[in-house]
Amino acid sequence: MILINSFLLIGQSNMAGRGLIHEADTIYNDNLYMFRDNTWMLAEEPLHTDKPDLAGIGLGMSFADTLQRKFDKKIGLIPCAFGGTSLAEWKQGELLYTNAVSETIKALESSSLKGILWHQGESDADHLSTAQNYKDRFQTFIASLLVDINQTSIPIIIGELGEFLLKYENCAYSPVINNQLKSLSLDDKYYAFVSAKDLTDNGDRLHFNSKSLREFGIRYANKWMECSQRLGISLE
C-alpha cells in the first residue's frame, strides 16, 4: 500500500491556478499524486478542474515537488479550490465545504493529512465589512472543517493576496484582508502566513502568473516546513 502524505488545497482561483501552461516548465515527479475520481493518480497540471477552460498552473505542484525532493516521501494533493468564490461559500453546509470534506475523507482512507493550503480573499475584498471580519469568519470555517474531517493539530498555510490587486477595481480592501490573514499566523501556532511580495500577475491584475505561482508554491513549502517543525509534525 502506498503511504501518501496528503495536503488539502482550498480557496479560489489563485489556489486553483490560472497560470498559462506554456509559461512554466512542466514538473515531472513520479512521487507526486493527486486525488481525482476517488483514487490517487500521478499528479499533473492542471490539478484543478473547477473551470476547465481557465485552469492552468497553480502553486500546488511546486509546493509538493519541493517537499518531495527535500524529504524523499510520497506527496499527495487533494485539489478542492474553486475560482471566483467568497469565504461565505466555504462555510459549513455550503456545497464547496461539503465537497472538500467528502474528498478529504475519501483521500484519507489511503493517506495521512499533513496540512491545509488556503488562498482566497479576492472575492471578499470588495467591501470593507467582509474584509474587516474575515479573520473571525475564517477561524469559524477552519474549526468546523477540522472537526468534520476528524483532524487536529495540522498546519494551516495561508497565502497573502497579491499587491497587484490594488489596481483591480473590485479589490480595494485587499490590504485589510492581508492584515487579517497575517494576524492569524501571529495569534495561532498552527497557522503560517506566506508572503506574496514581488510576485506578479498575468496581466489581468487579478491572477498570479505561472512564474510567480511556481515561486509561491516553494514559499508555501518553506512555511509548511517551519510550521511543522514548530508543531513536531513530520512526513511519513
Sequence ranges of the domains in the chain: 4-231
φ and ψ at residue 125, rounded to 5 degrees? -95, 10
DSSP label at residue 109:
T
Mean pLDDT of the chain: 96
CA distances from 117 to 31, 38, 169, 173, 226 (A): 19, 20, 27, 22, 14
* Domain 4-231: which CATH number of 3.40.50.1110, 3.40.50.1000, 3.40.50.300, 3.40.640.10: 3.40.50.1110
The grid coordinates of residue 125 equal 475584498
- Contact between residue 127 and residue 173 where contact means Cβ atoms under 8 Å apart: yes
Tens digit of pLDDT for each residue in 150-187? 998 899 999 999 999 999 989 999 999 999 999 999 98
Strand 32-36 vs strand 39-42: parallel, antiparallel, or unpaired? antiparallel
Tens digit of pLDDT for each residue in 36-90? 999 999 999 999 999 999 999 999 999 999 999 999 999 999 999 999 999 999 9
- Contact between residue 87 and residue 145 where contact means Cβ atoms under 8 Å apart: no
pLDDT at 1: 53
229 exposure class (CB count in 10 Å sphere: 0-12, 13-18, 19+): exposed
